[in-house]
Amino acid sequence: VLSLSILNGRILENLGICSQLKFVRFMRRGKKHKDDPKLFIKDLKFDNVPVRIYQPKAPSAGQRRGVLFFHGGGWIFGSINTHENICRYIAKETESVVMSVEYRLAPENLHPAQYEDCLAATIHFMKNTDDYGVDPARLIIAGDSAGGNIAVGVCQTLVGRKDLLKPRAQVLIYPGLQAMDFNLPSYQQNRAVPILFRERAAFYALQCLIGNASVLEDVLQGSHVPPDIRQKYAKWMGAHNIPDEFKVRGYKPLVPAEFVPEVYEVVKDMCSPSLSPILAEDATIRQLPETCILTCEYDVLRDDGLLFKKRLEDNGVQVTWFHVEDGFHAIISLFDKGRLAFPSGKKGLDKIVGYIKGL
Ligand SMILES: *[C@@H]1O[C@H](CO)[C@@H](O)[C@H](O)[C@H]1NC(C)=O
């Protein structure tokens, strides 16, 4: 674990984007799982994937909801431990059973290892809801940041499975849902807002997909998108699908750089639903369960959330949207961090809790 931190630190340093690394390490630091007076907490393996289950101790009149949570961290950071307090809070406040997944991280394990682990753990949980007193018709697939990307990928797979019940809802906390366009208004406006810089968003996607960031500059400029793909997805992607009120602050339309086929060859999945689940066809989107999306104004990923909201609504899927006006990426993770906490982080998390309680 230590050497991985050092390795990642070096990668980030070489790219000159390491000023926030201290924060990332802070989020990453392991904590032992301590007992909780209100929860039974168990570390298990579901289909060989390590998971942690949080079960309220209080007796329940009926079956509980199940919340299947995939942590964020750009596919290369994060763990059950970094999101321990969020999962405990959700379990206690919503009186649901929460499963948190320790999926394999990049760059050692490239995409789609993260998605595969989360899918395997989810299906195992779905088939064993009885063991946890969970209602199989009230399962919520949730994730923050890269975990939100995985959550949508898992949901898109599950709605195609006739042998399993459809999830009750998706909960997406500042999700990253596309790697096609790093020049959307929010990427320009918040390019240097901690803790997720524009360059780093692309860097993470590249680490996840190919394990290095050699084509970072090309991808930032959009050289990885073939003209026919750009045209095909123009109806769903692009600044013209973002409401005007989000473009007043420091945004200027850019002409994408010239297409470079050699770059596309290496990063094809950035332009496919595999890594950009927002690009799934209508036939899939239409079947997704009702969705809660939380976006933050000062977050490069804001427009991923806004575009997906539109995409779902255009396909008749009910969306509950919370926008944190003074929020930035990862603010929810700080909800209980004392001097580092921002009131909006706790408020945002409580909105999510309120939404889950209504399901
Ligand atoms: C980056 O990964 C790609 C895809 O696997 C590979 O072709 C390329 O050689 C790698 N570049 C570096 C600098 O490691």
Q: Report the catalytic residues.
A: 145, 299, 329
Ligand 1: distance of its center to the CA of 108 in Å?
A: 14
Q: In percent, how much of the chain has pLDDT > 70?
A: 91
pLDDT higher than 80, residue 189: yes
CA-CA distances (angstroms) from residue 20 to 9, 25, 79, 177, 185? 10, 9, 18, 23, 23
| Averaged pLDDT for residues 217-240 | 97
Q: Which pLDDT belongs to residue 250?
A: 86
Q: Which pLDDT belongs to residue 1?
A: 38
- For residue 230, give the CATH number of its domain: 3.40.50.1820
pLDDT higher than 90, residue 54: yes
Phi, psi of 188 (to 5 degrees): -70, -45
Confidence of residue 16 (pLDDT cuts 50, 70, 90): very low
Of residues 1 and 188, more confidence is placed in 188
Say if ligand 1 is within 6 A of residue 14 CB.
no
State the chain's mean pLDDT as an integer: 92
Closest-CA residue, ligand 1 atom 1, reads 212
Atom from ligand 1 closest to the CA of residue 211:
2
DSSP H/E element including 99: strand 97-101
Q: What is the pLDDT of residues 267-305, one digit of tens each?
A: 999 999 999 999 999 999 999 999 999 999 999 999 999
Q: Which pLDDT belongs to residue 36?
A: 96
- Determine how β-strand 39-46 pairs with β-strand 49-56: antiparallel
Say if ligand 1 is within 6 A of residue 210 CB.
yes
Say if ligand 1 is within 6 A of residue 214 CB.
yes
Q: In percent, how much of the chain has pLDDT > 90?
A: 86
List the domain range (segments joined by +) for residue 225: 2-357
Structural domain count of the chain: 1
